[in-house]
Structure 1
Amino acid sequence: MDANNVRQQWADRSGEYSPAYYAYYGPDETSELIRASLARELDREASILELGCSSGRHLAHLHEDGFDSLAGVDINDEAFDVMADAYPDLAEAGTFHVDSIENVVAEFDDDRFDAVYSAQTLQHIHPDDEWVFDELARITDEVFVTAEIEEPAEDAEPADDTDPGTVADSPTDPDSVADADSATDDGHGDADVNYVHDELPLYYRDWERVFTERGFEQVDVGETRRDTVRTFRATTA
């Protein structure tokens, strides 16, 4: 699957892993670890960008805690309709971009944001687009947080394809988003790749190396059932 195909998968996403899916669950343990990391490193006036914000559950958790200079980017335009319904205060207060990360990031000035973070988003960046990591380092003034799946789950079970936007039963918890095939070499000498439900590529990378090579120091690591949450601080800040 090439980079354009990957982006299109997310632009058209409905049902599982869609904006409605994440709004159904709301903020979770990963949301709290991200909030705690940013609250520890920055004041509430800090400008913060979420990459792949979807319908905004992580940003909403920050907004409720007093962070008010929030921005997000997501390629799926449905995300912001869902956000307006699920988190109207956030939708009104934040600044949002409907586009791919690859298209948006180059438009920002150097050190534009005090903090940038990703929750299970950078893991879907295609190896052909790894130049994006340089751009993310360029626009981040102080703190970068990654909350990504770093290895395949040994206890993964098949996911329920129920759309939480239409049926309020119990769809698959997003923390169990690891039901993928065995990791294989991606052919680029860096990330291994899984295909979630045989369609969504998930690239495993050494995020500590990715960002320390770009001028950041890792200052904290936290764990949830599926995510490893790493906090980096720019060494030149």
Structure 2
Amino acid sequence: MGGDSVREAWSERSGEYSPDYYAYYGPDEVSEAVLDALDESVGRGASVLELGCSSGRHLAHLHENGYESVAGVDINADAFDVMADAYPDLAEDGEFHVGAIEDVVAEFEDGAFDAVYSVETLQHIHRDDEWVFEEIARVAGDALVTVEIEETESAAPTDESGDTTDSGVTYVDDGIPLYCRNWRDVFTVYGFEEAASRALDRDVLRVFRATN
């Protein structure tokens, strides 16, 4: 599955892992972990961008806890209709962009946000589009937070038949590829240092601070 196919699949997502799905479950322990990470790295007066915000459950948790300058990007236009119903205050106060991360982030100015974060989103960026990681680092003024599934012995790459491979790609949910990466290796190349990391239920949370 190429990058265009991956983006199309998420832009039309319904049912499980859709904007309605996430709004139904609302903020969770990951939302709290992101809040804690941002509190420690930038504080509640910071401007914050979520990549792949969906209907906004994590951003809503930040907003309800004092983060007033919040923004989000999502490729699924339905996400923002769901957000308007589920989190009307967030929808009214935030800045939101419909489109692929690769298209939207490239339009932001350098250091446009004090902090940028993602939750199980960057793992879906295709190998051909890895150039966007430098763009993400460019717009993150002070901090980056990633909460992503990383390759471990219990999450080894598998092909579309479920057999283990050495490709670094795991296929999930109707053949959608998940690209397991070590985000420390990715973002420390672009002017960030890892300040903290910890394992969550199935993800690794990493906090990066700008070095310049």
TM-score normalised by structure 2 residue count: 0.94
1:153 Cα shift?
A: 7.9
Asked whether the equivalents of residues 97 and 104 of structure 1 are also in contact (C-alpha less than 8 Å), the reply is yes
Contact 1:183–1:193 (Cα < 8 Å) also in 2? no
User: Counterpart in 2 of 1:172?
Assistant: none
Amino acid at match of 1:196: V
Deviation of 1:78 after TM superposition, in Å, equals 0.5
Aligned to 1:213, which of 184, 189, 194? Answer: 189
Equivalent in the alignment of 1:115? 115
Count of residue pairs brought into register by the alignment: 207
Measure the CA separation in 2 of the matches of 1:182 and 1:90.
42
Deviation digits for residues 1-58 of structure 1 (CA, Å, limit 9, x no counterpart): 1100000000000001100011111111111111001011112221100000000000
Q: Which amino acid aligns with 1:85?
A: D
Q: Does 1:59 align with 2:59?
A: yes
Question: Is the CA contact 1:113–1:141 (under 8 Å) kept in the aligned structure 2?
Answer: yes
Q: Which residue of 1 aligns with 2:48?
A: 48
- Tell me which of the two structures has the higher relative contact order, counting C-alpha pairs closer than 8 angstroms and 6 or more residues apart: 1
Give the 3-state SS of the residue equivalent to 1:33 in structure 2.
helix
Q: Secondary structure at the match of 1:213?
A: helix
- For 2:23, what is the secondary structure of its paired residue? helix
Give yes or no for contact 2:197–2:205 (8 Å, CA) kept in 1: yes
Letter in 2 for 1:109: E
Counterpart-to-counterpart distance in 1, 2:59 and 2:186: 24
Match of 1:91 in 2: 91
Report matched runs for 1:136-151 at 5 Å.
Answer: 136-151=136-151
User: Counterpart of 1:68 in structure 2: which amino acid?
Assistant: E
Structure 1 residues 153 and 88: CA distance shift in structure 2, 3 A: farther
State whether residues 106 and 135 of structure 2, in contact with CA within 8 Å, keep that contact through their aligned partners in structure 1: yes
Give 1:93's aligned amino acid: D
- AA aligned to 2:23 is A
Residues in 2 aligned to 1:3 and 1:18: alpha-carbon distance in whole angstroms: 19
Structure 2 counterpart of 1:169: none
Give the match's secondary structure for 2:190: coil
Aligned to 1:184: 165
Distance 1:123 1:113 in 2: 21
Cα contact 1:27–1:58 (8 A) shared by 2: yes
How far does residue 135 in structure 1 lie from its aligned partner after superposition? 0.3
| Structure 2 residue aligned with 1:34 | 34
- Separation (CA, whole Å) in 2 of partners of 1:101 and 1:184: 28
Q: Which amino acid aligns with 2:38?
A: L
Unaligned stretches of 5+ in structure 2? 156-160
Report what 1:225 is aligned to: 201
Displacement, 1:152? 6.0
User: What's the offset of the Cα at 1:139?
Assistant: 0.6
8 Å contact from structure 1 (residues 112, 139) kept in 2: yes
Q: Verify the 8 A CA contact 2:73 2:101 in the aligned structure 1.
A: yes
**2:178 corresponding residue in structure 1:** 202
Gaps in structure 1 of 5+ consecutive residues: 156-179, 187-191
Determine the C-alpha separation between the residues in 2 that align with 1:152 and 1:116.
25
Distance 2:53 2:148 in 1: 14
